[in-house]
Amino acid sequence: MADVHSSEIRSKNMRAIRTQDTAIETRLAERLAELGFSYRVQDKTLPGKPDFVLESHRAIVFVHGCFWHHHDCYLFKVPATRTDFWMNKIGGNVARDKKFIAELNASGWRVLVIWECALRGKMKLADEAVSSRLEEWVFAAQGNAEIDWQGIHQMRERPA
């Protein structure tokens, strides 16, 4: 299927996509504040510029868009046009994610990835469910994990 927009319009639309203070980040910030956590946002001094840094717990939280970071869920669809371009771009994001997580772990940080599908869409988790899973992970003080529409689980190895 051909793109319904001209390349100029598509380019303009793609440039308008925000990289911080997105709706899903705002929703998560509300959960963190509700739980009483103090945090920093978009810390440029750490690998990957984490969305949320919980210094006192040595915990990092990334909020990943299911499309941009290739999550295997109902929100990810392989683009119908310029498929090779997009899959290479997304593959590069996945490889960078793995690199940043490894660097953060080597520096003594634990990493939680919260996927977009947990925070928006027809199967999103309720606010209370997101909060309880987040709190559970922070205080468990165990390794890396991820939260998606199915719940919380140990971080899976993902192909680059």
Q: How far apart are CA 160 and CA 139, in angstroms?
A: 30
Query: Is position 7 within any domain?
Result: no
Domain that holds residue 112: 21-154
Q: What is the pTM of this model?
A: 0.84
Q: Is residue 6 part of a domain?
A: no
Residue 137 located in a structural domain: yes
Q: Cα-flanking dihedrals φ and ψ of residue 59, to 5°?
A: -125, 140
For residue 12, being part of any structural domain is answered with no
* Type of residue found at 118: A
Whether 160 is covered by a domain: the verdict is: no
156: DSSP letter: P
User: Domain count of the chain?
Assistant: 1
Q: What is the pLDDT of residues 70-117, one digit of tens each?
A: 999 999 999 888 899 999 999 999 999 999 999 999 999 999 999 999
Find the CATH number of the domain harbouring 28: 3.40.960.10
Confidence of residue 23 (pLDDT cuts 50, 70, 90): confident
In a domain, 85, yes or no: yes
